[in-house]
Amino acid sequence: MVAVEAFQLLFVLLFAPLLYGWIAIVRAFLSNRTPAGLLQPWRNLLRLFRKETVLPEGHSILFILVPPVFFSVIAGASLLVPFLLVSPPLAPVADAVMLVGLFSLARMTMALGAMDVGTPFGDMGARREMMVAFLTEPATLMILFTVSLWSGSTSIPSIIRSLTDGHDPFHPSLLIAALAFILVFLGENARIPIDNPTTHLELTMIHEAMLLEYSGPLLALMEWGSMQKLLLYLLIGIDFFAPSGMPEDPTLLSVLAGSGILAGKLLLLGSGIALIESLFAKLRIFRVPEFTALAYLLSTLGFLLHFVLEV
């Protein structure tokens, strides 16, 4: 039992930077550039860990505490999301609302850390991040409710079971909720229509602006945490909308087969993200409410359509 949880944690820790690398490879391929390689995010992280930490003037203890707290909250969340087995040992705690709460906690610590030093860019980034977060939250909850209409519970294992047991796989409400989930995913993980993760222009930054003052191992922890968060969101999405192929019994062979299928799904989703990022431009910050309103609209439509079409 402990082995399964340890394996889950290890999987997320090791695989998250690789997924980042994969997205970068597909993006490079789509824009006719030579990719830096799958291991580049790992190289970046290791280099950051070897560097010394430079602390900004006027920082408090909070500034140093934030990266480890952020990192461990996200890593803790990776114990709760079922992806190797339908029902991991910590399943009774694996409630979707709980996960949303954990992510909000991580985001709040990050915003506090950015505001601690009192530089204008950190402040601005933190405010923008909180704005995007509070705009996407209603949509996130509506998606959760839509998905849990089948199982009558927000616990992720029972959601997966209710979706894999039925014999007709064609749910319009889930399809619309999945569209909304893509929008929420892009907003929550600071991906392209909302925020450009590779930008160097401070005035357009959201997520990066919060990390401007961090350096060395502290920065590495923040980056690594964000990579894990991206992976976890994808895993939650797989749990909700494409859970087939996930093993129920904890034998070594079925877990290995299940993780093979999972890796395939993740590669596919990573390419999808890269495609979205290559096709769309970053939105103006004042258009973000429109984007999140669309996400909320889609999730609520899915919720309503369930009662009209699928009862």
Compute CA 284 distance to the chain's CA centroid, rounded to the nearest angstrom: 22
For residues 170 to 199, the per-residue mask of contacts with another protein, x marking binding by CB under 8 A and - elsewhere, is xxxx-xx-----------------------
* 134 is a contact residue toward another protein (CB under 8 A): no
Helices (H) and strands (E) in the chain, counts: 11, 0
Output 124 or 298, the one with its CB closest to another protein: 298
Give the three-class secondary structure for 155.
strand
Sign of CA pseudo-dihedral 175, 177, 181, 183: positive
How near is the Cβ of 181 to another protein at its closest, in Å? Answer: 15
Output 167 or 200, the one with its CB closest to another protein: 167
Stretch that binds another protein, among 58-66, 195-203, 256-264, 302-310 (CB under 8 A): 302-310
Got the DSSP string for 212-245? TT--HHHHHHHHHHHHHHHHHHHHHHHHHH--TT
* 301 is a contact residue toward another protein (CB under 8 A): yes
Count of residues of this chain found to bind another protein when the rule CB under 8 A is applied: 22
* 279 is a contact residue toward another protein (CB under 8 A): no
Distance between CA atoms of residues 226 and 41, nearest Å: 12
Output 5 or 310, the one with its CB closest to another protein: 310
How near is the Cβ of 130 to another protein at its closest, in Å? Answer: 19
Sign of CA pseudo-dihedral 210, 212, 217, 218: negative
Output 6 or 175, the one with its CB closest to another protein: 175
* 288 is a contact residue toward another protein (CB under 8 A): no
Distance between CA atoms of residues 199 and 39, nearest Å: 21
How near is the Cβ of 297 to another protein at its closest, in Å? Answer: 5
Interface pick for another protein out of 168, 198, 203, 251 (rule CB under 8 A): 168
**Residues contacting residue 83 through CB under 8 Å, at least 6 positions apart:** 8, 11, 235, 238, 239, 246, 262
Stretch that binds another protein, among 83-91, 167-175, 201-209, 252-260 (CB under 8 A): 167-175
In which residue are the tokens 């209710």 written?
Answer: 162
Distance between CA atoms of residues 57 and 99, nearest Å: 35
Look at residues 14, 15, 8, 20 and name the one whose alpha carbon lies nearest to residue 190.
20
CB 197: neighbour CB atoms within 10 A?
18
* 294 is a contact residue toward another protein (CB under 8 A): yes
Output 146 or 226, the one with its CB closest to another protein: 146
**Residues contacting residue 94 through CB under 8 Å, at least 6 positions apart:** 80, 81, 82, 88, 155, 156, 157
* 308 is a contact residue toward another protein (CB under 8 A): yes
* 115 is a contact residue toward another protein (CB under 8 A): no
* 290 is a contact residue toward another protein (CB under 8 A): yes
In which residue are the tokens 């989930």 written?
Answer: 181
Residue 23: in which H helix or E strand, if any? helix 2-30
How near is the Cβ of 243 to another protein at its closest, in Å? Answer: 18
* Amino acid at the residue 97: V
* 23 is a contact residue toward another protein (CB under 8 A): no
* 163 is a contact residue toward another protein (CB under 8 A): no
Output 107 or 171, the one with its CB closest to another protein: 171
* 309 is a contact residue toward another protein (CB under 8 A): yes
- Footprint on this chain of another protein (rule: CB under 8 A): 167-168, 170-173, 175-176, 289-290, 293-294, 297-298, 300-301, 304-305, 307-310
